[in-house]
Structure 1
Amino acid sequence: MPDGTKKPMRQRLLAPEASPPSTFLDPESMPWEESAFPGIRSKTLYSDPGGMCTLRLKLEPGAEVPLHEHTAIEQTYVLEGRFVDEEGECLPGQFVWRPAGNTHVAWAGPEGAVILSIFLKPNIFAAGQKFFTAEE
């Protein structure tokens, strides 16, 4: 509330219990974590046991996400740089989504890229790598 006092907990609309609280993050203050692929680091903003996750990814110039298949929809918003695959490229402020079954190799442009990606399930990689999954 504007005066600094806490609001009372709301009740759920569909059940006679308290509404679960929101989780607020400050991604700028979170450390970057190394990934299984050279030149790619991440910040996990959300993940659950079923494999759904929201990631902020930083790709160094030319860094590559090798051949993989999406097992559910993937959504990506480009924050900085250029994110490219065989079908096209996304620049800052642009968005791409890929359906389940889509296969591709993705890479950062010469300036690198920072992207926000939402995965409903983990991808399957041609070489068997584990990338942003609970089994990493």
Structure 2
Amino acid sequence: MPDGNQKPMRRRLTADEPSPRSVFLDVPNMPWEATKFPGIRCKTLFSDAGGMATLLLEMEPGAEVPLHEHTAIEQTYVLKGHFVDEEGECLPGQFVWRPAGNTHIAWAGKEGATILGIFLRPNIFADGRPFFTEERG
């Protein structure tokens, strides 16, 4: 039996090995990271070598995500403000998902926007800019 602070190590159901540990983030205390997109800061909640990423994005009023194509489904949940593109607008508490191949420009409304974005693979930007989690020299 573990002591009062330790939990027993759970085993996987599909393999004879320990269950990988969960990763907990203190998001409110994480610093905002600058991006290559003016007026947009982010907190990277998850990213992997394959390009999957979950980002908390804070957009200043009118900040724009330039013309890009989604290479896989993208999911966006609006926490604050207005998130807009040529096809519509998402308000706080609303959700939009875009299929692979969707090409658009997105921007924050006059109040700005805070959004949670889930990407299965990085977007391709028309101007060659790297995706938010990609580093280029």
TM-score bracket for the superposition, by shorter chain length:
over 0.9
1:13 corresponds to: 13
Using structure 2 for the length normalisation, give the TM-score: 0.94
Instruction: State the SS of the aligned residue for 2:112.
Output: strand
User: Residues 39-90 of structure 1, C-alpha deviation per residue, up to 9 Å, x if partnerless?
Assistant: 0000000000000000000000000000000000000000000000000000
Name stretches of at least 5 consecutive residues in structure 2 with no aligned partner.
none
2:35 corresponds to: 35
1:130 corresponds to: 130
Q: 1:29 deviation in Å?
A: 0.3
2:56 corresponds to: 56
4+ runs deviating over 2 angstroms? 133-136
Instruction: State the SS of the aligned residue for 2:28.
Output: helix
2:83 corresponds to: 83
Instruction: Quote the Cα distance in structure 2 between the aligned partners of 1:72 and 1:133.
Output: 16
1:108 corresponds to: 108
Name stretches of at least 5 consecutive residues in structure 1 with no aligned partner.
none
Instruction: State the SS of the aligned residue for 2:6.
Output: coil
Q: 1:5 deviation in Å?
A: 3.0
Q: 1:26 deviation in Å?
A: 1.1
Instruction: State the SS of the aligned residue for 1:107.
Output: strand
Instruction: State the SS of the aligned residue for 2:44.
Output: strand
Once superposed, what is the RMSD of the aligned Cα atoms? 1.2
Instruction: Quote the Cα distance in structure 2 between the aligned partners of 1:44 and 1:85.
Output: 23
Instruction: Quote the Cα distance in structure 2 between the aligned partners of 1:69 and 1:21.
Output: 34
Instruction: Quote the Cα distance in structure 1 between the aligned partners of 2:27 and 2:116.
Output: 11
Equivalent residue letter for 2:116: L
Instruction: Quote the Cα distance in structure 2 between the aligned partners of 1:117 and 1:96.
Output: 10
